[in-house]
Amino acid sequence: MNKKNILSDLPSVDEILKSDTGLAWQRIYPRPYVTRAIREEIQMQREAILNGTEKVFSLNDAMDRIKRRIEDLSGFSLKSCINATGVVLHTNLGRSVLSPEVLKHVADVACGYSNLEYDLEEGTRGERKAHIKQLLKEITGAEDGIIVNNNAAAVMVCLSELARGKEVIVSRGELVEIGGSFRIPDIMASSGAILREVGTTNKTHCRDFEKALNENTALLLKIHQSNFRMVGFTGEVTINEMVALGKKHNRAVMFDLGSGCLVDLKPYGVHIEPTVQEIVKAGVDVVTFSGDKLFGGPQAGVIVGKKALIDRIGKNPIMRAIRIDKMTLAAFEATLKFYIDENIAKEKIPTLAMLLQEPDKIKARAKKIAKALKRKISGDIAGVSVIEDVSQSGGGALAEVQFETFAVAITPAGISVNELEMRLRKGNPPVISRIKEGQLRLDARTIRDDEIPRLVVAVSSAVSAAC
């Protein structure tokens, strides 16, 4: 057949649109996507025929490809993924996971009207920050609290209100960069505060702070080093020392905690840092932390502390630019409510529940996944086994904590481990895994039970499909 003959086999866009399949697509998908997918496919076929790479035209194959194109076009860019990395707080995978109960409350509030800024008692204008104030006070023990868009914004507004044009003393060892380009010196500069570094990289003493104090000092700032650790000959000024120094010189003390943990994880062998309650109790004037790290809620920045200071911060004009929306507020209040009873928090907040899981439970889940995979994948296509492993369960405060875990180890026969990792990542749903010791590992810690069926289908088709 010559090129001209093959070209004449190509249907027109209109013919496909009017076919039974074409009409069926238009009932399910937006018409512009259907038209575009057909047009693009025909165009591609025409070019392939003209340059000789395509010798025959198969309508069936073309229709399959058009369907895939329409599905790609109709799908979302931001979509749910299966996290098989074992990293519970994974910044690139959306940090904390919200519980269905929290989401139900968000839907209740967002699908209709709400009392977001309406005082139901008085029938007058109300304040959005009023909804979580009382609960934040009760749970953290602080005199007052507000929330903003994220912790970076929280730090920014605090510095701007408390130290614009004035000096903020910070230990050199705490001038860190936190993932996603949050750099303390830069935040400080954009807030209008003047950074006054003291001490050395590895050691800072209380006397370094005291020497730097002058009439232009507004704030003594402590910053959690997050995923950065110093070992060896090191020394930092403790919270108690800073609070004592602040009191002595009548200066406010602020602590950017980053993660901010509200339940004591020491009984579980996780020795990361004091809880927010302990830091508040120590007398720190302003404490900031993220809503979507260990707290386990939506993206937010929490500011708690002394009433007089929180009042001032709440009135800063920047607040209007970084205020949270009603969906975040609903998710935050619903998450915060779980903390009324620590045992409920540990059970209902997915971040905490995943971190505190018994290794036996993780092992049982890994076995369940492996068993289901073995039913679908024969031994000559890939080896599947359950293996004891360790997972780094999160960035930030958890970066150096190693958790005992169990993973499903897969060794494909026909394709490389890297190829399998890529296919899973690009699949539907995307599965994010890790490679260790030449095996693909699916860490069962972060896989939800209800995700297992989809995971099994994704893995077995990725491992079996030809190159």
**Interacting residue ranges for ligand PLP, rule: CB under 6 A:** 150-152, 155, 178, 182, 223-224, 226, 256, 258-259, 290, 301, 396
User: Least distance to ligand PLP from the beta carbon of 116, Å?
Assistant: 22
How far is residue 152's CA from residue 191's CA, in Å, rounded to a whole number?
A: 11
User: Least distance to ligand PLP from the beta carbon of 334, Å?
Assistant: 19
| Residue 140 contacts residue 306 (beta carbons within 8 Å) | no
User: Least distance to ligand PLP from the beta carbon of 182, Å?
Assistant: 5
- Position closest to ligand PLP via CB: 258
Q: What is the DSSP string of 316-351?
A: STHHHHSPPPHHHHHHHHHHHHHTTSHHHHHHH-HH
User: Least distance to ligand PLP from the beta carbon of 152, Å?
Assistant: 3
Burial 297-308 (b: 16+ CB within 10 A, else e): bbbbbbbbbbee
Between 259 and 275, name the residue whose CB sits nearer to ligand PLP.
259
Between 167 and 174, name the residue whose CB sits nearer to ligand PLP.
174
How far is residue 180's CA from residue 92's CA, in Å, rounded to a whole number?
A: 10
How far is residue 11's CA from residue 38's CA, in Å, rounded to a whole number?
A: 10
Residues in contact with 368: Cβ distance below 8 Å, sequence separation at least 6, in sequence order: 452
| Residue 373 contacts residue 384 (beta carbons within 8 Å) | yes
The token pair that represents 90 in the structure block: 């994974």
User: Least distance to ligand PLP from the beta carbon of 261, Å?
Assistant: 12
User: Least distance to ligand PLP from the beta carbon of 269, Å?
Assistant: 22
Between 49 and 303, name the residue whose CB sits nearer to ligand PLP.
303
User: Least distance to ligand PLP from the beta carbon of 280, Å?
Assistant: 17
How far is residue 287's CA from residue 255's CA, in Å, rounded to a whole number?
A: 5
Between 197 and 256, name the residue whose CB sits nearer to ligand PLP.
256
Between 35 and 288, name the residue whose CB sits nearer to ligand PLP.
288
Between 2 and 181, name the residue whose CB sits nearer to ligand PLP.
181
Between 82 and 89, name the residue whose CB sits nearer to ligand PLP.
89
Q: What angle do the packed helices 100-110 and 326-338 form, to 10 degrees?
A: 140
